[in-house]
Amino acid sequence: MDILSRLHRLPVGKFHYKLLLLVGLGWLFDAMDTGMVSFVLATLGAEWQLSPKEMGWIVSIGFVGMALGAVLSGSLADRIGRKGVFAGTMLLYSVATGLCAISWDLASLLFFRFWVGFGLGGQLPVAVSLVSEYAPPKVRGRFIVILESFWGLGWLVAALASYFFIPQYGWHSAFLIGALPVFYVAVVWKLLPESIPYLLNKGRVEEAHAMVSRLEEEAGLAVVAEAVVNEPAQKEKISFARLWQPPFARRTLMLWLIWFGIVFSYYGIFTWLPKLLVDQGYTVVKTFEYVLVMILAQLPGYFTAAVLVEKIGRKATLAGFLFACAVCAYFFGHSDSAAMILVWGSLMSFFNLGAWGVLYTYTPEQYPVRFRAYGSGWAGAVGRVGGILAPMAVAAMVGTDGGFGRIFVMFTVVLVAVAAVIVWLGEETKGRTLEDISG
């Protein structure tokens, strides 16, 4: 039995849940850092007397860094391994976030936020590739959606920290809290395993064999004595052109359109949400309370998607959640009471974040191991372009007559278009092993 078959036959057990927790906490810290900015904007903008355009740049500059980080670290992870890049990017964004707390003007804050984004963008595709390559095929989708649920927990931590600290200690405190993951880097370096498919692809067969043997022993399975690899590790120069050659061109086009649309809508909505609600007449504290409720609604969205992604498949779940989110966004933008804001905002959050979980499952399933992180990184990078443009688009509408409603009509149109792309170009990947991907 070859090494990958042995890896796939392992029952879901302590090792898989430990891996999910280790990577998930990194994911939580990513989300906490991203979420802090949305809460900081409402107070920082007033203290520094920033225009909507300047506040838009605080968000967008992070996505410039994310786009570059996603491409460069995705390529690096396929060359030197998932573990080192995961730990290195966490160290980078933690330190940069702490430096944001001592920013003395807009230019310095933008500089630090760029490097925060670079680290964040670099970590996400690497994390997904690592968990995808260890999770058994029958539960891989569920595992990735659960991994993505840590994003909702991270935003929840950001909302709670902002609610209790920003009104008392100012926006600096939020960035200091966002720097705490620096202490987690050593834990990751010590405990996180390297990807088995990556090791095999690099010809490190004995190392992969030893790791799988240990997992077999822990699971109570018979340990296979001989290290067998069905096919020699494929050596191929990673190139951008490969993403646009058959059979990957259709998949790449689909992923780029989905990522652009979902990032545009998510960050356009949620990074501006506290500021938009303050502009609608709600107090800062009341706004934080409303956003906290909406963030809590993300968690059942993830868990519902985790069930559906293995029941009805990736394609139907992703398209359905995005279309439902589009409907909710429209009615949220036309809500005329606090109750309707909470109802439609919570439903919008439920479906949007559930869709994110499915997307992170679906993306690495489009590419083979030899350039999986690279392809996923490019998809994420194109998505970050949406994150750059969305805050600017919202900033242009803030304060205009009917601006609140028109902002959410824009997001409705984008989300419907993305759902249509999935129906048109998507293919179902439920039940496949990652080694089934051809090309």
Give the contacts of 325 (CB within 8 A, at least 6 positions apart).
Answer: 265, 348, 351, 352, 355, 415
Across 34-38, 68-72, 103-107, 146-150, which has the greatest mean pLDDT?
Answer: 103-107
Res 37: pLDDT = 82
**What number is the average pLDDT over the span 408-422?**
95
Res 236: pLDDT = 57
Inform me whether the pLDDT recorded for 227 exceeds 80. Answer: no
Note the pLDDT tens digit of each residue in 302-311: 889 988 988 9
- pTM reported for the whole predicted model: 0.75
Give the contacts of 355 (CB within 8 A, at least 6 positions apart).
Answer: 262, 305, 318, 321, 322, 325
Res 118: pLDDT = 93
Whole-number percent of the chain with pLDDT over 90: 31
**Mean model confidence pLDDT for the chain:** 85
**What number is the average pLDDT over the span 163-185?**
88
Phi, psi values for residue 236, rounded to 5°? -150, 135
Res 233: pLDDT = 47
Alpha carbon 105 to its chain's center: 29
Res 327: pLDDT = 97
Any idea which fold 3-227+242-430 has?
Answer: Growth Hormone; Chain: A; (1.20.1250)
CB 178 within 8 A of CB 154: no
CB 223 within 8 A of CB 193: no
Q: Give which of 19, 342, 35 is closest to 196, Cα–Cα.
A: 19
In the three-class reduction of DSSP (H, G, I as helix; E, B as strand; rest coil), residue 52 is classed as helix
Longest dimension (CA), the chain: 72
- How far is it, in rounded angstroms, from Cα 209 to Cα 308? 34
Alpha carbon 187 to its chain's center: 21
Inform me whether the pLDDT recorded for 243 exceeds 50. Answer: yes
What's the alpha-carbon Rg for the chain, to the nearest Å? Answer: 21
Whole-number percent of the chain with pLDDT over 70: 93
Res 390: pLDDT = 84
- Lowest average pLDDT, out of 7-16, 155-164, 234-243, 267-276, goes to 234-243
Note the pLDDT tens digit of each residue in 352-388: 989 988 998 898 888 887 787 788 878 888 888 888 8
Res 328: pLDDT = 95
- How far is it, in rounded angstroms, from Cα 244 to Cα 227? 35
Res 316: pLDDT = 94
- How far is it, in rounded angstroms, from Cα 319 to Cα 145? 15
Note the pLDDT tens digit of each residue in 98-138: 999 999 999 999 999 999 999 988 887 788 878 888 888 78
Res 235: pLDDT = 55
What distance, in Å, lies between the first and last C-alpha atoms of the chain?
Answer: 24
Inform me whether the pLDDT recorded for 349 exceeds 50. Answer: yes
**What number is the average pLDDT over the span 84-106?**
93
Inform me whether the pLDDT recorded for 420 exceeds 50. Answer: yes
Inform me whether the pLDDT recorded for 77 exceeds 80. Answer: yes
Phi, psi values for residue 101, rounded to 5°? -65, -25
- How far is it, in rounded angstroms, from Cα 431 to Cα 205? 26
Q: What is the residue extent of each domain of the chain?
A: 3-227+242-430
As given in the structure block, the two tokens for residue 165 are 């600290």
**381 or 208, higher pLDDT:** 208
**What number is the average pLDDT over the span 20-41?**
87
